[in-house]
Homo-oligomer: A and B are copies of this chain.
Amino acid sequence: MSAPVTLTICRTCRPEGAPEDAERPGAALLREVVAAVALRDAGATVEVKAIACLSACSRACSATVSGEAKFGYVVGNLSPLDAADLVGFALAHAESADGIPPWRARPQVVRKNTIARLPPHGVAHALVEEPASAAVDEVQEGA
């Protein structure tokens, strides 16, 4: 069984142009993500949390995926319609050993809208180097 991951949704995200007097798209995304996790019966693997701001306001709606001692991911430009894909990505993250799901396991919306990934704190990983040993190679995710 995969180690559980946490999917944190910014519930106040409102992309530019979204009406101010309607439900916030972030809140709708949160609702749809909770429903998608239930639909896939994935609650034991994907824990959903809400937050008031992920400091990614210019690329609303936004969400993060995190796991113990794993790379964390931030995804932006999401709409409530992307809930199922976001949960699919969280499941792929849970299955990966280090939090870096293989490219083929990432839904298109995640591939196109990954804002950043964060190395886990205090955990050794082949990608994380001492400054002195860093040589510049052409290594970019998905390239």
Given A72-B121, A122-B68: A54 and B116 interface contact (C-beta under 8 Å): yes
Instruction: Give the nearest-CB partner of A69 in chain B.
Output: B121
Which of A49, A67, A68, A73 has the most B CB atoms < 10 Å from its CB?
A49
A80 to B66, CA, bound (A): 29
Contact partners of A48 in chain B: CB under 8 A: 131
Chain B CB within 8 A of A139 CB: yes
Q: Are A30 and B127 in contact (CB under 8 A)?
A: no
Q: Are B118 and A50 in contact (CB under 8 A)?
A: no
- Min CB distance A69 to B, Å, is 8
Q: Are A8 and B53 in contact (CB under 8 A)?
A: no
Q: Are B118 and A74 in contact (CB under 8 A)?
A: yes
Hey, which bits of chain A sit against chain B, CB under 8 A?
Answer: 6, 8-9, 11-12, 23-24, 27, 30-31, 33-34, 48-57, 62, 64, 66-68, 70, 72-74, 76, 114-122, 127-131, 133-134, 136-141
